[in-house]
Amino acid sequence: MAGDALSGLKGEFEMAMRREDEELEGLTLNLTPLLLPVGSHVTADFHPLADFAAFGEYEAMAVMDTGEDIAYMADSIAKGIADYLTDRPEMAELMRTVEAPVDVGKIREWLTVTCQGPYDGAMSSYLRDASHLPGGGATFPGLAMALPPQMLIALVGWVEGKILEALVEVSDESTLTAVGGAWMNLMMLQLCIFVEPYLVEPTGPMNHSGAAEFHPFADFAGFGAAEGTILKKTGPLLEPAAGGVIALAYTYLLSRPESSIYFDEDAHLAQRKKTLKAWWIRSTTQPMDGKFHDYMSKVADAHVPGGGTHPHVVIPADLTIALMGWVQMRVMTALNTISLDPEGTYVFGTMGEPADTAKVGQAWMRMLTLQLGILLEPYMAGSAAKA
């Protein structure tokens, strides 16, 4: 669905990249997309799973084109991220460990590099230099101290929401979800690079249960009661799509060499389909609370040695993250079918106002990113910085 939407926008993106940016005073036209040969916007050197995540040429052009459009907001976006971190109580102790904890200029640099592309080896090298700390650990670009891995994941979820807010200013109801999906996919691939220092080979299931909350950094990610209410109201509109979701996901997974090798028999495939359908139904109908954390922990355990009904099958962490990028892009695109009616009720079948759609997107993207954090817990068990 996202691929069709982005394909339909191809002509618009190409024309937009050729126009002079006369509407936004003071901007310098980014000629990088025009100078690159076709097919060079994304390379395997950026991330070997970019193609698996379906982050390709159209997605890259979507990010670069809208990145050019939001360039006039770069300073305010960077300052907004810095101010948010400075004000959060979760950050107070960490900020006292370094002399200059937040560099707004470097946050702005990260945003500029992300917007301009191309997405290649130079980009991935930049992201590693900006997020991997010499003394060990990882952080978000522009921060001087290591963040616990689950905190870093939550922060990326919060930033995803800020990106959607910015895209509202340069998109309409027919383009927001398509370009937003491309951005969300890219953010997951960047997260895959950010957390590299924390990933370890899982030794076995963690057998967690009795969680008190959905995620320890849910509030930090900007996922609170209001977002939970949005999910409660919009989830039932998406839940009936479970059959289509399963068909789309497994048609894709079985077509990809990166993922097809993990389905070694018909019985295993049937079990995985059943598990995915259960996840979709739970995600669209149940509250994000401690019980949901316990459920996701069991799903995570099924991906590691000795876990689940096929204990010999181990899913790599980076494949899980890249797949979440694919999922976020498709869920974000599906949200263009949900809108608010005059009575304030979410309805299915019509496009909504960009600002309303962005709020729904924020809730879903942050929830999915926090779910990813739970799925990655077994791969971060050996990290000294584990939250």
Give the pair of three-digit tokens for residue 332. 């974000």
pLDDT score at 27: 38
The total number of structural domains in the chain stands at 1
Q: Is the dihedral of CA 238, 10, 107, 146 positive or negative?
A: positive
Q: How far apart are CA 116 and CA 285, in angstroms?
A: 38
Determine, yes or no, domain membership for 36: yes
Domain extent, residue 199, equals 2-238+281-379
For residue 104, how far is the Cα from the chain centroid?
22
**Across the 387 residues of the chain, what is the mean pLDDT of every consecutive 10-residue run?**
43 41 38 45 94 95 96 96 97 95 98 96 97 94 97 98 97 93 98 96 87 96 97 92 82 87 69 83 95 94 76 83 95 91 88 93 98 95 47
Residue 101 near residue 95, CB atoms below 8 Å: yes
Residue 29 near residue 20, CB atoms below 8 Å: yes
Determine, yes or no, domain membership for 387: no
Phi, psi of 347, rounded to the nearest 5 degrees: -130, 160
Determine, yes or no, domain membership for 311: yes
Determine, yes or no, domain membership for 274: no
Q: Which amino acid is at 232?
A: K
Residue 322 near residue 253, CB atoms below 8 Å: no
Determine, yes or no, domain membership for 257: no
